[in-house]
């Protein structure tokens, strides 16, 4: 490839070339200087604990005892051989996948419904957001009361229908289902709100032109709505996936510490059992790295597909 002058265009340079081009511009250079103090504060607050936890995950250090014997991958080997950690990892994966999928499907249906013009639309939108306003612990305790075998209305209904033969809160599988139902009830309005914001950015002329061309409602949905809604879907799925991946208070408040997640396992290791403090650091690093990889997947893979389709 050549430039207008006929000389070959220089390739390469990588990140250094990008930074040099950025700092040649006086306005951009000034902008970088202005955000630098804030960036340093954020790095000091967020980056320092991550580095300390990472280093401690390779040592046999205890609380209040800096340093410690170098253990290499011993903490991680113990972690993945530990059956409670395996159960916590499976619970986190199942909860995240099922709850986010259900919230997306139901949230998209709600967003499509309230995006249409009808009388009382504002009141309906406000009413839909009510579950999202509940604190997680309050919501979890409320659902736990409905799941109890003596006074719980949901436990009474599913038992009367023959769907279960034992109380909901006595089995880990039914408790997990109950946690997913509780989370879907509470956070689906948040998903619907983000998707509704994306729907309102789609111009109506596009649908009018599609109707003139004879496109059906189904074709308009798959050829227009979903592609143009791609960025909003990406943001909604990313936020909800990361939020579900670090689930903590919902599990313990609703199941009375019966259900374990990566976050609850980490807390118990670093707080309740000081002898497992190095393992807790390793669990914290695993939780952070997996969440980081999830974010990279959504931004790089799904974000790239979304921009291509748009």
Residue 59 three-state SS: strand
Q: Which residue has the higher pLDDT, 83 or 256?
A: 83
Its CATH class, for the domain covering 75-309, is mainly alpha
Residue 179, pLDDT score: 93
Reference 104, options 177, 176, 187, 218; nearest CA is 187
Please report, rounded to a whole number, the percentage of residues in the chain having pLDDT higher than 70: 87
270, burial (CB in 10 Å: exposed 0-12, middle 13-18, buried 19+): buried
Residue 47, pLDDT score: 82
Q: Categorize the per-residue pLDDT at 261 as very low, low, confident or very high, splitting at 50, 70 and 90.
A: very high
Handedness of CA 155, 160, 163, 164 (dihedral sign): positive
**CA distances, 193 to each of 67, 187, 232 (Å):** 47, 10, 10
Query: pTM of the full predicted structure?
Result: 0.82
Q: Which of 2-11, 123-132, 135-144, 170-179 bottoms out in mean pLDDT, i.e. has the lowest? A: 2-11
Does the pLDDT value for residue 40 go beyond 90? no
Question: Helices 74-81 and 83-114, interaxial angle, to 10°?
Answer: 70
Specify whether the CB–CB gap between 224 and 202 falls below 8 A: yes
Residue 1, pLDDT score: 44
Q: Where are the alpha helices (DSSP H) in 152-248?
A: 153-160, 172-199, 204-212, 217-220, 226-228, 230-245
Does the pLDDT value for residue 97 go beyond 90? yes
Q: How many residues does the chain have?
A: 310
pLDDT tens, 98-147? 999 999 999 999 999 888 877 777 788 888 888 888 889 999 999 999 99
Q: What is the mean pLDDT of the chain?
A: 84
Rounded Cα distance between 259 and 33, Å, is: 47
Specify whether the CB–CB gap between 152 and 146 falls below 8 A: yes
Residue 7, pLDDT score: 44
Residue 4, pLDDT score: 44
Residue 306, pLDDT score: 54
Rounded Cα distance between 123 and 204, Å, is: 23
Residue 181, pLDDT score: 94
- The per-residue b/e assignment along 94-108, b for 16 or more CB within 10 angstroms, e otherwise, is ebbebbbebbbebbb
Q: Which of 67-71, 72-76, 221-225 bottoms out in mean pLDDT, i.e. has the lowest? A: 67-71
Please report, rounded to a whole number, the percentage of residues in the chain having pLDDT higher than 90: 30
């Amino acid at each position: 490839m050549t430039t207008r002058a006929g000389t070959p265009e220089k390739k390469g340079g990588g990140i250094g070339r990008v930074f040099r081009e950025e700092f040649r511009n006086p306005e951009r250079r000034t902008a970088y200087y202005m955000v630098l103090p804030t960036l340093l504060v954020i790095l000091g607050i967020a980056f320092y604990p991550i580095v300390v936890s990472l280093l401690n995950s390779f040592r046999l250090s205890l609380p209040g005892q800096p340093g410690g014997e170098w253990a290499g991958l011993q903490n991680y080997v113990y972690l993945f051989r530990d059956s409670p950690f395996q159960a916590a990892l499976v619970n986190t994966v199942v909860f995240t996948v099922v709850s986010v999928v259900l919230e997306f499907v139901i949230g998209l249906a709600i967003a499509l419904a309230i995006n249409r013009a009808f009388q009382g639309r504002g009141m309906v939108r406000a009413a839909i957001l009510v579950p999202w306003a509940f604190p997680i612990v309050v919501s979890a305790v409320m659902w736990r009361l409905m799941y109890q075998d003596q006074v719980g209305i949901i436990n009474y209904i599913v038992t009367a229908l023959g769907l279960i033969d034992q109380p909901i809160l006595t089995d880990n599988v039914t408790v997990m289902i109950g946690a997913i139902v509780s989370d879907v009830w509470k956070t689906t309005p948040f998903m619907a709100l983000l998707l509704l914001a994306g729907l309102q950015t789609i111009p109506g002329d596009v649908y009018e032109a599609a109707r003139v061309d004879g496109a059906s409602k189904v074709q308009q949905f798959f050829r227009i709505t979903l592609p143009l809604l791609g960025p909003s879907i990406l943001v909604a799925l990313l936020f909800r996936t990361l939020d579900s991946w670090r689930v903590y208070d919902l599990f313990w408040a609703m199941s009375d510490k019966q259900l374990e997640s990566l976050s609850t396992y980490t807390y118990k290791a670093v707080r309740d059992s000081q002898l497992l403090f190095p393992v807790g650091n390793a669990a914290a690093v695993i939780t952070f790295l997996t969440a980081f990889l999830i974010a990279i997947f959504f931004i790089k893979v799904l974000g790239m597909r979304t921009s291509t389709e748009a």
